[in-house]
Chains A and B, each alone.
Chain A
Amino acid sequence: MNAKERILTVLRRKAPDIIPFSVYFETLQLAGLAVYEPWRKLLDKGLCLHAPLVTQTHKVNCPNATMDITHQYGNHTSWSPADLLIAMQAPHDFLGKFRTPLGETIFKASVKGLDFSVQLPWFQEDGYIIKNFDDYEVIKFLIEDSEYTPFYDEIKELQMIMGNYGIVDSLVPKSPLQSLIMLMGPQKLALDYYMHQKEFDDLYRAIYKKQLEIYKIAAESPAEVIWAPDNVTSLITSPKLFEKYNIPFYNEAADILHKHDKIYIVHMDGTLKNLAELIAKTRIDVIESFTHPPVGDLTITEAKKLWKDKVIWANFPEPVSMQGQKAVRAKTIEMLNDAAPGDNFLMGISEGFPSFQHMLKFVPIILKTINKFGKYPIPRG
């Protein structure tokens, strides 16, 4: 099996030759390392690429509003790949202005590096788009004013570039509650949920309705899999919120995607123990970036027991890499044993490593260990 076949086989709940192990294509692309010799060698040894973040299936237009975003990063203005690497580490300052007939909203944010997967939900106070009630109206206007047009060229191009090295997902927006966390931050979300339920629910419903339009466009795209970057963690999305807000959307979205034979992947990289039974009630196909302890709080064995119909795409818990090569090998074996015989199971790296050099040191160890101990079916014990 090639990498693409291996991933899709597991995502369709069939038996692979070996447990697939993936890294995000974007990680290599960001570093300008896509053709870097050591990575090519790893691809030839079975490393799979997963490209969930780069291609959207639609273009958006708000005919009655304008949006200006400026992005500055230090003094780094060079175009050279080496300098771009440096620029990724520099402070980045964002200033965004949305103007609508109902008023305008401004957000400011400063991030240290371009690891958006880590930084975006954690902007400082003024980085959130919704800061007070006036912003609710403006954002609701923007949402309702949005017009989406299908656009599949990027997916087709990336599928061609990627070939059999991996899969290209269609990136869809976070589900409505997870989007609200991004728009207003976890603190305001909590306070508004408890103190201004009506306005909160109105905004949630507006997002819900519009996002289903995007999921319908994604359902008709050439991508086999649809990926939602939900970053669910029970600490913020409590069971109460998950049951009320996340489950109805996941199930409606899943039904839309399944009609078109698409695989519905949701990125859930946090603590999931308290949500595990609720997640089992959803019609999501794949829990991606599932993070094993010590970062997560649910083991693969526990998750497999509860989510019999779901595929688990487990993230290698990156702090283990700080403990050295032996620990990385031991954790990989532990994860494989937990997943034995390995049905409905993939492994990957879906969080940021401290550096690309660091990643390059540990990815080969994980791959080598999987190639040795991850042949399907993995013997129990």
Chain B
Amino acid sequence: MTKEKIAEDFINAAVNMDILRAKKSCKEAIALGIDPYEFIEMAITKALTIIGDKFENEEFFLPELFMAAEIVKKSMRILEPHIKGSGKKKNLGKIVIGTAKSDMHDIGKNIVSFFLKAEGFEVIDLGVDISPEKFVEVVRNEKPDILAISALISLTMQEVSKTLKSLEIAGLRNDIKVIIGGATFTQEFADDIGADALAINAIDGVKICKRWVGI
């Protein structure tokens, strides 16, 4: 079997949410001696692009994104032990991500975080309920390229606004791009607080970040 055929099988399996077939393709790729990095590019990244597009076109929803994340996680477990020295891991840049203070919602953030990692970003996920002070501290220490803030309830809109102001006061605002996302945000709000972009959904957020680093 050719590597193209195995990659195609993987893609079909992933898009059909068939984890067993996807894992089988990964094992076949290893057995055939295919470079794991090449397989990740040919199969996993391509499958994620198709799944992301289907999500944007509203053919897929959150259950499919969760399942895709699981398929990739399990597939990477098969591929990773064979990765050592076989190629160069790409690094598109560093992103700090977190859900704003007083908000415990993390589904959207986790999905964005997962897809950013899968695309090759280094992601520092701070979790939920993150204060403006904490965001500023991490941005100062980690010097990321992008700060991504998620929120679902409108109570937290003020906290997002405060975070932007705190970055300004700390003299860090011009060093990073800031993207916000969550059902409660509008473009008007993003413009008002001076965010660089509003992500209308998880996949849109990933696309914006990729655009910012020239991909």
Contacts and interface: CB of A to CB of B under 8 A. Distances in A.
B112 to A, nearest CB: 14
A294 B63 contact: no
Nearest to A318: B154
Nearest to B17: A194
Interface stretch (A28-36, A117-125, A133-141, A154-162): A117-125
B70 A191 contact: yes
Interface in A266-307: 271, 274, 294-295
B104 A319 contact: no
Given A195-B19, A319-B157, A322-B157, A122 B61 contact: no
B62 interface: yes
Given A111-B104, A191-B67, A318-B154, A186 B17 contact: no
A194 to B, nearest CB: 5
Contact of A186 (B19, B66, B70): B66
A294 B60 CA distance: 22
A81 interface: no
Contact of A190 (B58, B63, B129, B188): B63
A235 interface: yes
A312 to B, nearest CB: 20
A215 to B, nearest CB: 26
A186 B62 contact: yes
Given A319-B154, A354-B155, A294 B186 contact: yes
Interface in A94-152: 111-112, 118-119, 122, 124
Interface string A82-103: 0000000000000000000000
Contacts of A352: 153, 155
Interface residues of A, number: 32
Contact of B67 (A112, A190, A236): A190
A61 interface: no
A187 B155 contact: no
B183 A295 contact: yes
Interface string B49-80: 00000000010111110110010000000000
A194 B67 contact: yes
Q: Mostly helix, strand, loop or mixed at chain A's interface?
A: helix
A381 B143 CA distance: 53
A234 B61 contact: yes
A194 B63 contact: yes
Contact of B154 (A111, A194, A354): A354
A124 B154 contact: no
B170 to A, nearest CB: 25
Interface centre among B19, B67, B157, B183 (most CB of A within 10 A): B183
B102 A191 contact: no
Contact of B61 (A111, A235, A319, A322): A235
Contact of A187 (B58, B66, B102, B186): B66
Contacts of B128: 124
Given A187-B107, A294-B186, A238 B61 contact: yes
B61 A236 contact: yes
A218 interface: no
A241 interface: yes
B104 A122 contact: yes
Nearest to B154: A319
Contacts of B19: 194-195
B38 to A, nearest CB: 28
A319 B186 contact: yes
Given A274-B58, A295-B183, A295-B184, A112 B64 contact: no
A193 interface: yes
Nearest to A293: B186
B21 interface: no
4 A-B pairs with least C-beta separation: A190-B63, A238-B61, A190-B66, A319-B154
Given A124-B128, A189-B63, 18 more contacts: A122-B105, A124-B106, A186-B63, A190-B67, A194-B17, A194-B67, A235-B61, A236-B61, A236-B63, A238-B64, A239-B61, A318-B154, A319-B157, A319-B184, A319-B186, A319-B189, A323-B188, A354-B154
12 contacts: A122-B106, A191-B67, A194-B19, A234-B61, A238-B62, A240-B61, A274-B61, A294-B186, A318-B154, A319-B157, A319-B189, A321-B154
